[in-house]
Structure 1
Amino acid sequence: MSDNIVLLADDDSDDRFFIQQAFKSCGVSAKVIEAENGAELINFLKKPDLNVSLIILDMNMPKMNGLEAMTQIKAMPHVAEIPVVMISTSPSQDLYEKAYKAGVQSFMPKPNTFDEFNDLVGLLKQRFLQ
Structure 2
Amino acid sequence: MQNSLTILLIEDDQIELMKFNRVLSKLDLNHNVIEATNGEEALKILSHKDKLPHIILLDLNMPKMNGIEFLDILKKDKDLKYIPTIVLTTSANHKDMLECYKIGIAGYVVKPLKYEDYKEKIKKVLSYWSINELISV
The corresponding residue for 1:67 is 68
In 1, distance between residues paired with 2:44 and 2:65? Answer: 12
- Decide whether the 8 Å contact of 1:18 with 1:117 is kept in 2: no
Checking the alignment, whether the CA contact within 8 Å between 2:4 and 2:130 is kept in structure 1 is no
Shift of 1:27: 2.2
Asked whether the 8 Å contact 1:53–1:129 carries over to 2, the reply is no
Report the AA paired with residue 75 of structure 1: K
Letter in 2 for 1:110: K
Structure 2 partner of 1:48 = 49
**TM-aligned CA deviation for residue 48 of structure 1:** 2.4
Q: Provide the rounded CA distance (Å) in 1 between the counterparts of 2:101 and 2:108.
A: 8
Taking only the aligned residue pairs, the percentage that are identical comes to 26
Aligned residue number for residue 135 of structure 2:
none
Q: In structure 2, what is the Cα distance between the partners aligned to 1:49 and 1:118?
A: 31
Given that 2:9 and 2:33 are in contact with CA atoms closer than 8 Å, whether structure 1 keeps it comes out as yes
- Which amino acid in 1 is paired with 2:126? K
- Post-superposition offset of 1:3: 4.7
With 77-86 and 108-117 compared, the bigger mean Cα shift is at 108-117
Residue 67 of structure 1 deviates from its aligned partner by 0.6
Gaps of 5+ in 1: none
How does 1:15-30 map onto structure 2 within 5 Å?
Answer: 15-30=16-31
Query: Root-mean-square deviation (CA), in Å?
Result: 1.4
Cα displacement (A) at 1:35:
0.5
Structure 2 match to 1:96: 97
